[in-house]
Amino acid sequence: MLNKRHKRNKAYNKSVTTTIIGQLLISSSGEKEQIDRLMAKFQSAKRMAFNQIIKDGITKREDIEKYIKARIPSLNTRYMRDAIIEAEGTIDSQKELLPVYLEDTEHKLKKSQTKLLLYESGKRKAKRVSLETVVKAIKKRIDKLTQRAAKLKHHIINGTIPNIVFGKRRNLISLQKGLLAKKEADVDISTALSLYLKKKDIHVKERC
């Protein structure tokens, strides 16, 4: 029996496409800039598709494709469809991982609660800092884990996922602090390019 993602892909593909192994030869910085711009558009399309599905509740691929095409007209159909498929894959994988995250969080919560009981009962002694400091730190962790577990349960019940940041975390932090321009923080192009080409079995080689 085909899973949900395979069914969706089969219904969407109106024509057969074939991906072959190839080698991309980059002979100049100009060519690299062209590829970087292409991958920036691809990543933007991926985020647009993601937001259309998550925030606007639009799941029909044709509608998402029209939305992206209106905003990035220079992106070809193949890349656009790949961006939509990757966005769907990200959402599906996050939903599949939610029970794992919840189990891990509940395990950590139980461990912290046990540790708190040991310190409060006097069975375990504080060494480097005062008992009050240790207990306060453990309680803070318990509160944090309790909140996280509640959020994860909420997502599981409602079929939603936590917020996702595309690109590198350090870029997001730098952007929030005003240390990085939005265009620079938009996506780490080199990483995005290598990951995309790796999925497509395309090897990149720079000419000297």
Count CB atoms within 10 A of the CB of residue 65: 19
Residue 205 phi/psi, 5-degree rounding, is -140, 130
Asked, for residue 1, whether it belongs to a domain, the answer is: no
Asked, for residue 204, whether it belongs to a domain, the answer is: no
In this structure, are 149 and 185 located in the same domain?
A: no
In this structure, are 134 and 63 located in the same domain?
A: yes
In this structure, are 84 and 156 located in the same domain?
A: yes
| Threshold 0.85, pTM exceeds | no
Contact call for residues 16 and 170 (beta carbons, < 8 A) = no
In this structure, are 153 and 179 located in the same domain?
A: no
In this structure, are 69 and 160 located in the same domain?
A: yes
In this structure, are 144 and 72 located in the same domain?
A: yes
d(CA 159, CA 62): 23
Query: Residue 124 gets which letter from DSSP?
Result: S
Asked, for residue 28, whether it belongs to a domain, the answer is: no
In this structure, are 102 and 160 located in the same domain?
A: yes
Contact call for residues 52 and 84 (beta carbons, < 8 A) = no
Helix (H, G, I), strand (E, B) or coil at 25: strand
In this structure, are 149 and 178 located in the same domain?
A: no
In this structure, are 48 and 140 located in the same domain?
A: yes
In this structure, are 151 and 92 located in the same domain?
A: yes
Give residue 148's domain range.
33-164
Contact call for residues 57 and 118 (beta carbons, < 8 A) = no
Per-residue pLDDT of the chain (208 residues; tens, 9 = 90+): 445 555 555 555 555 667 677 776 777 778 888 888 888 899 899 999 999 999 889 989 999 999 999 999 999 999 999 999 999 999 999 999 999 999 999 999 999 999 999 999 999 999 999 999 999 999 999 999 999 999 999 999 999 998 876 766 665 566 556 655 554 444 444 445 445 445 544 444 434 3
Asked, for residue 45, whether it belongs to a domain, the answer is: yes
In this structure, are 93 and 188 located in the same domain?
A: no
In this structure, are 134 and 178 located in the same domain?
A: no
Query: Residue 164 gets which letter from DSSP?
Result: -
Asked, for residue 26, whether it belongs to a domain, the answer is: no
